[in-house]
Amino acid sequence: MIKDSKIPAPTIERLALYSRPLENLLKSGTDLISSEKLAYLCDVSSAQVRKDLAYFGEFGIRGVGYNTEALLNEIKNILATNREWTLCIVGMGNLGSAIVENENFKKMGYKFVAAFDVDPEKIGKTLPCGLIIESLSKAGKLVQSLHIEIGVVTTPPSGAQKVSDLLMDAGVKAILNFTSFQVSAPACCVVENVDFTMKLENLAYHLGRSQSFIS
Query: pLDDT tens across 165-181, in order?
Result: 999 999 999 999 999 99
Total-model pTM: 0.85
Q: Which of 78, 106, 125 is the last residue of a domain?
A: 78
Residues 9-18: what's their mean pLDDT? 94
Q: How far is CA 28 from CA 32, 68, 104, 115, in A?
A: 11, 11, 19, 36
Which of 78, 93, 128 finishes a domain?
78
With pLDDT > 90 as the criterion, what percentage of the chain qualifies? Answer: 80
What is the per-residue pLDDT for 196?
A: 87
Contact 143, 172 (CB under 8 A): yes
Q: For position 64, what pLDDT does the model report?
A: 80
Please count the residues of the chain: 215
- Whether residue 215 has pLDDT greater than 60: no
Is the alpha carbon torsion for 106, 110, 112, 117 positive or negative?
Answer: negative
pLDDT at 61 over 90: no
The pLDDT, as a whole number, for residue 1 is: 38
- Residue-number span of the structural domain to which 128 is assigned: 85-197
Tens digits of residue pLDDT in 84-118: 999 999 999 999 999 999 998 988 899 999 999 99
Q: How confident is the model at residue 49 (pLDDT cuts 50, 70, 90)?
A: very high
Work out the pLDDT band at 2, boundaries 50, 70, 90: very low
Structural domain total, the chain: 2
115 and 54: one domain? no
**Residue range 147-170: mean pLDDT, rounded:** 97
Indicate if 93 and 123 belong to the same structural domain.
yes
CATH number at residue 23: 1.10.10.10
Range list of H helices, 43-193: 46-54, 68-79, 94-100, 103-107, 139-145, 160-170
